[in-house]
């Protein structure tokens, strides 16, 4: 009888903590701590609840695991930073076993072996093996791994090899996050991607301290930084230098005026253009070095959809893969993969990722209990009727919370935990941004049937993870104005009936009614909250967010006309209700 190898990967760092469980090299479940603690990005939280969910989902105990893989080497980072033991205990306690595996939850018994995986190795593993490519050039870019910020490599059946690294003093992630801070768009719990959305409103005409040529990038106009300095000094000094450069050279010559955010539009465009140039140079150089026609990317910088769209168009690869949790939450998956490959060989991994629905799921009994506990009126329907009713609501301009099946992983809503609206009405963008407390200049993404992608979008390839920007065809822009950004771009998700059956059926029904196979889709959460996790979260958000309806499992709840706020069509009546 074949033995079972359970390996649990963790991102246990200061943000985006998560857990991922493999069984004999096959991905079973991924859970993100923020979804359970309800604290966005799970700042300074160990992945305790995420780990507990994964183990309970699979029906295994901590003691049955072959090993636990940690996606960051904090011992190495402490050494590089040059901080003493007292500081380390206060500032970097993330790998303390009692913090990771509290006895009150996991008991005081023997714990499985712990394997430490370098941060960028975990990132690289998370995208290369999930891509399904036989070989690929690999590009990892973020704020920092233990002592590096960008890693270039090559993945094949033999594993992953590094071809070049960039130090933390050359961090693209730090460059972009400090730019977001200068524009008043940064906090530890927010996504720096807001700067990407703002960039479309400006022109790239301002000086920035990043340039690229001949397959490399460098910071220019900044004081030199010695590699002999302690890492803590390098981070602090480089951060200060970037902010000082922006204040001296970039309009409006003042830091953090969030009430005047549009004054930073051309600054954002300039920062974005330089980042794109750097990534394009790196990607092209990796194609020359490796000879591969495939590119796999990870790291927080790989969440930049606009840059990803440029790479798909212009980097010269046949295939580009960016996995949906490319940020630090994804290192849990990569660490588990790397540990399994080390113990059992990469050839035994079966982790190709064609969809993102590997997250938590809850049964119909839990859904009914949540609705009844919060005194929400609802009706139950078989799938065809549910889909028909929801499509009718969206056709009438309603905003619907959509909670179905297993949750998607990563920061994008992909048709499992979504807020949905009519893309034909620009008012939909306004309404969704109001519900979520978002700035009005931020775009809403479209979900489109994969078979209809080419009809609406160009300049990219169908992407299931809403992580690559494309251009909306000019002839179609007036047809779906709610999901067209100011520069004519969008961040579309290609929806396949084979992997997202019910969501595809809903888009298909909306198409049958309207002739438009597209829905406006944003994540199911309110301001400063993570995406909903449990049915109780979904019902509470439906009530607090003034949504028009909630489709949760086979149940449909509709807010009474008199309870609606800002109803786009208060005279409309539902003939079927």
- Cα separation of the two ends of the chain: 56
Give Cα separations from 324 to 180, 353, 410, 569 (angstroms). Answer: 22, 9, 6, 36
Supply the DSSP symbol for 199: H
Distance CA 514, CA 169 (A): 53
Q: How would you label 186-214 residue by residue, b for 16+ Cβ within 10 Å and e otherwise?
A: beeeebbbbbbbbbbbbebebebbbebee
Whose structure tokens read 């963790």? Answer: 10
Q: Which of 5, 12, 15, 249 is catalytic?
A: 15
DSSP string computed for 514-554: HS--EEEEEES--TT-PPP-SHHHHHHHHHHTT-SEEEETT
15 in catalytic set: yes
Supply the DSSP symbol for 110: P
Angle between helix 172-182 and helix 265-290 axes, rounded to 10 deg: 170
Distance CA 565, CA 569 (A): 11
DSSP string computed for 468-492: S-EEEPGGGTTTSGGG--TTSEE--
Is 180 in contact with 242 (CB distance < 8 Å)? no
Q: How would you label 55-80 residue by residue, b for 16+ Cβ within 10 Å and e otherwise?
A: bebbebebeebbbbbbbbbbeebbeb
Distance CA 454, CA 494 (A): 10
Q: For the purposes of burial, counting CB atoms within 10 Å of the CB of 164, is it exposed (0-12), middle (13-18) or buried (19 or more)?
A: middle
Distance CA 30, CA 58 (A): 11
Residue 269, H or E segment: helix 265-290
Distance CA 513, CA 505 (A): 12
Active site residue ranges: 15
């Amino acid at each position: 009888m074949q033995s079972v190898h359970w390996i649990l990967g963790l991102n246990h760092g200061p943000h985006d903590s998560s857990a991922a469980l493999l069984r004999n090299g096959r991905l079973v479940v991924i859970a993100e701590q923020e979804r359970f603690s309800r604290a966005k990005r799970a700042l300074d939280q160990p992945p305790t609840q995420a780990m507990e969910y994964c183990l309970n989902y699979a029906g295994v105990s901590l003691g049955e695991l072959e090993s636990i893989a940690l996606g960051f080497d904090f011992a190495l980072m402490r050494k590089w930073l040059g901080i003493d033991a007292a500081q380390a205990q206060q500032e970097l306690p993330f790998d303390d076993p009692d913090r990771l595996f509290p006895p009150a939850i996991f008991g005081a018994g023997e714990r499985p072996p712990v394997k430490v995986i370098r941060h960028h190795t975990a990132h690289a593993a998370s995208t290369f093996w999930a891509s399904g490519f036989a070989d690929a050039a690999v590009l990892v870019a973020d704020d920092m791994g233990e002592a590096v910020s960008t890693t270039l490599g090559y993945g094949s059946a033999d594993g992953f090899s590094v071809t070049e690294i960039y130090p933390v003093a050359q961090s693209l992630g730090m460059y972009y996050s400090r730019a977001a801070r200068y524009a008043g768009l940064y906090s530890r719990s927010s996504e720096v991607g807001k700067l990407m959305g703002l960039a479309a409103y400006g022109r790239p005409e301002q000086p920035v301290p990043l340039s690229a040529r001949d397959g490399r990038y460098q910071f220019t106009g900044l004081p030199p930084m010695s590699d002999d300095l302690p890492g803590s000094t390098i981070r602090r000094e480089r951060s200060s230098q970037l902010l000082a450069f922006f204040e001296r050279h970039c309009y409006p010559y003042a830091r953090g005026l969030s009430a005047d955010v549009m004054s930073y539009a051309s600054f954002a465009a300039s920062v974005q253009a330089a980042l794109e140039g750097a990534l394009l140079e790196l990607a092209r150089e990796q194609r020359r070095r490796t000879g591969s026609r495939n590119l796999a990317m990870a790291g927080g910088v790989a969440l930049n959809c606009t840059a990803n769209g440029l790479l798909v168009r212009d980097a010269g690869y046949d295939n580009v893969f960016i996995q949906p949790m490319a940020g630090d939450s994804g290192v849990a998956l990569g660490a588990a993969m790397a540990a399994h490959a080390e113990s059992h060989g990469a050839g035994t991994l079966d982790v190709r990722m064609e969809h993102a629905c590997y997250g938590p799921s809850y049964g119909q009994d839990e859904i009914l209990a949540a609705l009844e506990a919060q005194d929400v009126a609802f009706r139950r329907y078989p799938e065809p009727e549910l889909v028909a009713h929801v499509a009718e609501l969206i056709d009438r301009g309603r905003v619907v919370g959509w909670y179905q099946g297993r949750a998607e992983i990563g920061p994008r809503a992909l048709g499992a935990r979504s807020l949905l609206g009519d893309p034909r009405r620009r008012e939909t963008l306004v309404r969704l941004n109001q519900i979520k407390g978002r700035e009005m200049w931020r775009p809403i993404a479209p979900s489109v049937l994969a078979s209809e992608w080419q009809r609406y979008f160009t300049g990219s390839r169908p992407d299931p993870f809403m992580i690559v920007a494309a251009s909306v065809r000019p002839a179609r822009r007036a047809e779906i104005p709610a999901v067209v950004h100011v520069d004519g771009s969008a961040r579309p998700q290609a929806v396949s009936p084979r992997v997202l059956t019910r969501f595809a059926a809903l888009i298909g029904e909306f198409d049958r009614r309207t002739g438009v196979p597209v829905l406006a889709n944003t994540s199911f959460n309110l301001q400063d909250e993570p995406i909903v996790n449990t049915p109780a979260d979904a019902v509470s958000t439906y009530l607090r967010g003034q949504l028009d309806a909630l489709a949760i499992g086979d149940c449909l709840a509709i807010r009474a006309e008199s309870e609606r706020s800002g109803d786009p069509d208060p005279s409309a009546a539902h003939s079927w209700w």
